[in-house]
Amino acid sequence: MSTTAEPVFTSTVDLPVPPDEAFALVTEPERLRRWTAVAATVDLRAGGEWRWEVTPGHTAGGTIREVDPGRRVVLGWGWLGDDALPPDGSTVTVVVEPAEGGSRVTLTHAGLPTQQQVDGHAEGWNHYLERLELLAVKGDAGRDEWAWAPEQLDPITAGYAALAAIQPMLRGLTAEDRPKPTPCPELTCHQMAVHLMESMIGLGGMAGVALAIPEEGSLESKISWLADGALTGWRERGLDGMVTDPAGREIPAAFGPTVIVIELLLHGWDMAQASGQTIEVSDEVIGYVAELGRQVIDGGRGSAFADEISPVDGTSSLDRFAAFSGRRALVPA
């Protein structure tokens, strides 16, 4: 009697880092965000939950089934909103071993229901394991083209695309940047970062999510965690109906994530200007956000936003969006 082997994907990569660092790269949110996720939460214990926003609008998640710290982790793997492969619908095992020059990471994805699922996940894993190698070798995997311009944009997906765009800038900020002025003359770079975090807390609260600024972690980690928490809250609540804003006013629910994406892009731009950095955002995302936020920005002229100014010729789509919001660049084009 013949049997058909279960479809399985397996791949191995060698990394020029010690095994403990390799294990951190595949389990710690701050490191995961550098090669395979826009946002990640990981409760690293057997029975703990994990969730990765792999690209905007595509969220993997499930339960951690086994953990051998520094050596092995087994994840129940699936996709939120995917009936064909829901969370915990398959199994991903990652094994880290010492190897000459560093460590060897072997990833096995089993329990996929069809060969088509195997092929699709193989394409994804090959893409991200290549980025993992690049991160380990160069310290930077670079922009993930798969997160650059999501196919189906909505306010929440655009919010994650904006977060992905500003994360490299946030990682580039230093202590010397804290007191530097931003295009908002009343706020320094540090004050702008605090304002952005407080905005995420307030906007998440409108969706019923209680957030607070984490006591530990880098600025990039804190902003990523807060933005992810706020966007997840809106995704779970939905965008229909009305909500109450912090001032007690009844407003359309879709206003919440719309302001989140505007805040991430514009205040990210503010901090980039202060620190002499640039932010890369696709024209598709900026075009969507500009149209989405037109009513919010026009309605806030004279208070939250200044009058629109003419952008400098040849500037980026994000610079033009900032000019639309009434901001003047500090860094010459």
Q: What is the pLDDT of residue 54?
A: 98
Q: What is the pLDDT of residue 1?
A: 44
Please identify every stretch of the chain with a pLDDT value under 70, giving residue numbers as ranges.
Answer: 1-5, 331-333
| Residue ranges of domains in the chain | 9-145, 149-324
Give per-residue pLDDT as tens, 193-219. 999 999 999 999 999 999 999 999 999
| pTM of the predicted structure, to 2 decimals | 0.94
Helix, strand, coil content of the chain in percent (nearest 5): 45, 20, 35
Give per-residue pLDDT as tens, 93-124. 999 999 999 999 999 999 999 999 999 999 99
How many CB atoms within 10 Å of residue 284? 16
Q: 149-324 domain in CATH 3.60.110.10?
A: no
Q: What is the pLDDT of residue 125?
A: 98
The architecture CATH gives domain 9-145: 2-Layer Sandwich (3.30)
Q: What is the pLDDT of residue 2?
A: 44
